[in-house]
Amino acid sequence: MALTLNQFEILEYLERTQNNRVTQRELAKIKYLSVGTVNKTLNELQEMELVKTKDRNIFEVTLKGYEYLEPYRVKKAIFLAAGFGSRMVPITLNTPKPLVLVHGKRLIDTLLDAVLAANILDITIVRGYLGEQFDVLKKKYPMIKFVDNPLYNETNNISSIYLVRDQLQSAYVFESDLLLYNSKLIRKYEYSTNYLGIPMERSDDWCFEVKRDYITKMKVGGENCYQMVGISFWNDEDGRKMNQDITDVFHMPGGKEKYWDQVALDEKIEDYKIMVKKCEFFDVIEIDTFGELKKIDPIYNI
């Protein structure tokens, strides 16, 4: 029942946008594919009886199509929200960074709303600094589970993922201080383990070197690279491997000072094949400093 990557991407898109008219040229642009590849893939999906044509440029996913998609279903969402957010002082002196309001909406809400829209209901937030303030989320999101990280002020964020390392199978992992504009990036189904990345001619931030869509190296700064976005998905197999690898790295000398992403993208990179999932600069924004916050939301210019 395995699908090729192209088959999955087209089938997933058609499931998400059913009854909407879409041309092959539009599909090609959305999925970064050639029109010929889209035409070939649509023909394959119809021959496999996974989609059928309802009208010109309107496709419907069949029951068999849903059966093929089910093994790729995302089951969980994990949010890392324990840090202090020192570069956002003074706003973070009394408020955890994920709860900071931007245009009247909490940063973390932009992510949580997208997760719920993708019908992912198993949600865990790892909290630390001013952790009790996250209780306010329960009113809007009663399904949330909290895990408290008592080490948030002594270690890097690897301690947060260490506490939930047994929950990574078929799971999204989010940095909780991102402002998500494009909720469609969060999907009900994912093909394989991946990180969001923004194609850049040059970046001074954390970025990926990529070969044939697979991440080969993580580094700070580079040219013709993908700027790293703190949203990743872990399939069942890689999630199980990460359980052990996170434990190993966390307990090695200096391990507690590492970012959790370094486990699979540096320390154990030879054990993983992690794809980059392309997005655009305006799809999601990481607000690093109070100065950046003021530029995005003028209400803080006081």
Segment 107-126 mean pLDDT: 98
Q: What is the pLDDT of residues 202-221, one digit of tens each?
A: 999 999 999 999 999 999 99
pLDDT at 161: 97
**Choices 3.40.50.970, 3.90.1150.10, 3.90.550.10, 3.30.1330.90: CATH for 82-300:** 3.90.550.10
Residue among 54, 70, 68, 65 nearest 22 (CA): 54
Task: Kindly give, in sequence order, each residue whose CB lies less than 8 Å from that of residue 123, ignoring residues fewer than 6 positions away.
Answer: 76, 77, 79, 112, 115, 141, 143, 144, 145
Distance between CA atoms of residues 186 and 17, nearest Å: 14
Q: What percent of the chain has pLDDT over 90?
A: 87
Reported as type and span, the H/E element at residue 47 is helix 35-47
The DSSP call for residue 263 is I
Q: Does 82-300 match 5-71 at the fold level?
A: no
Average model confidence (pLDDT) across the chain: 95
Question: What CATH fold (topology level) applies to the domain 5-71?
Answer: Arc Repressor Mutant, subunit A (1.10.10)
Question: Would you say residue 45 has pLDDT above 80?
Answer: yes
State the first-to-last Cα distance of the chain, in angstroms, to the nearest integer.
Answer: 58
CA distances from 14 to 23, 52, 60, 91 (A): 11, 11, 7, 42
Q: Is the pTM of this model over 0.85?
A: yes
Domain coordinates in residue numbering, the chain: 5-71, 82-300
Residue 100: phi, psi to the nearest 5?
-65, 135
